[in-house]
């Protein structure tokens, strides 16, 4: 899951980005509205966290304009403004959630994760527990079990596995994995995805569940060339 944080306070921005990365998210951090506008045009984000008052203006006005153009990425506003009128304005202009400063970082992370999951799939909300063959992914608890055995995954490994599980039986390209699970510093032509998938395969054990589809990407589930289970 990839998140954009728009915050002009460098210390707060780095702290928020570090907390979100610690939860397994890929995070891009910018400090003003023009940089945010460029970022959302380039990358697909599961959620955008906007500070309300930025040097380039009130981010509520920017979000409202983008919403009129059909932009539907979930938005969380951060602000020192705590009046009811300010909170209502945030929601009326396209915000999905609103957090008043000072806030608990753990609460921010929980809210971003909740908003981000809404945008991972179309249609009904994703199930809190994803099951693929004998693999079970408990998303809220960030736990993975294979044949009932609890596995220990890094935050990045969990993020990649969750994305693959949300598209189980479908081929997910390396580009899609980088766009959703790594931040802007990742080099699209590097082998970061291949290395991480090898680590995941080792931890998941056999029989293999993550399959390489040559020239296309990766597929989680039964080997497409194998007979059907059961």
Residue 179 binned pLDDT confidence (cut-offs 50, 70, 90): confident
227 pLDDT more than 70: no
- For residues 54-81, give the mean pLDDT: 87
Least confident of 120-124, 142-146, 200-204, 221-225: 120-124
Beta strands 171-172 and 217-220, pairing class: antiparallel
What pLDDT, on the 0 to 100 scale, is given for residue 105? 87
In 10 A of CB 131, how many CB atoms? 12
| CB-neighbour burial class of residue 29 (10 A; exposed 0-12, middle 13-18, buried 19+) | buried
- For residues 19-25, give the mean pLDDT: 86
- For residues 152-163, give the mean pLDDT: 86
Is the model more confident about 56 or about 182?
Answer: 56
What pLDDT, on the 0 to 100 scale, is given for residue 186? 56
Q: What is the residue-averaged pLDDT of the chain?
A: 83
Secondary structure letter of residue 110 according to DSSP: H
Whole-model pTM over 0.85: no
Architecture of domain 2-118: 3-Layer(aba) Sandwich (3.40)
Q: Give residue 186's Cα distance to chain centre.
A: 15
- Residue extents of the structural domains in the chain: 2-118, 129-220
Q: Which fold has domain 129-220?
A: Arc Repressor Mutant, subunit A (1.10.10)
């Amino acid at each position: 899951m990839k998140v954009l944080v728009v915050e002009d306070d460098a210390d707060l921005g780095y702290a928020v980005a570090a907390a979100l990365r610690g939860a397994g998210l890929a995070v891009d951090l910018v400090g003003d509205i023009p940089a945010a506008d460029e970022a959302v045009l380039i990358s697909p984000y599961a959620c955008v966290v906007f500070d309300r008052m930025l040097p380039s203006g009130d981010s509520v006005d920017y979000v409202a304009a983008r919403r009129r153009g059909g932009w539907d990425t979930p938005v969380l506003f951060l602000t020192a403004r705590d009046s009811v009128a300010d909170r209502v304005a945030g929601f009326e202009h396209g915000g999905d959630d609103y957090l008043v400063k000072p806030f608990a970082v753990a609460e921010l992370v929980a809210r971003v994760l909740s908003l981000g999951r809404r945008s991972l799939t179309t249609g009904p909300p994703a199930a809190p527990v994803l099951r693929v063959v004998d693999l079970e992914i408990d998303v809220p608890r960030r736990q993975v079990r294979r044949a009932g055995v609890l596995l220990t995954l890094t935050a990045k490994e969990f993020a990649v596995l969750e994305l693959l599980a949300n598209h189980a039986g479908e081929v997910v390209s390396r580009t899609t994995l980088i766009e959703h699970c790594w931040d802007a510093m990742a080099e699209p032509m590097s082998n970061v995805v291949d290395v991480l998938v090898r680590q995941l395969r080792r931890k998941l054990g056999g029989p293999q569940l993550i399959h390489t589809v040559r020239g296309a990407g990766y597929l989680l589930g039964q080997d497409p060339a194998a007979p059907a289970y059961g």
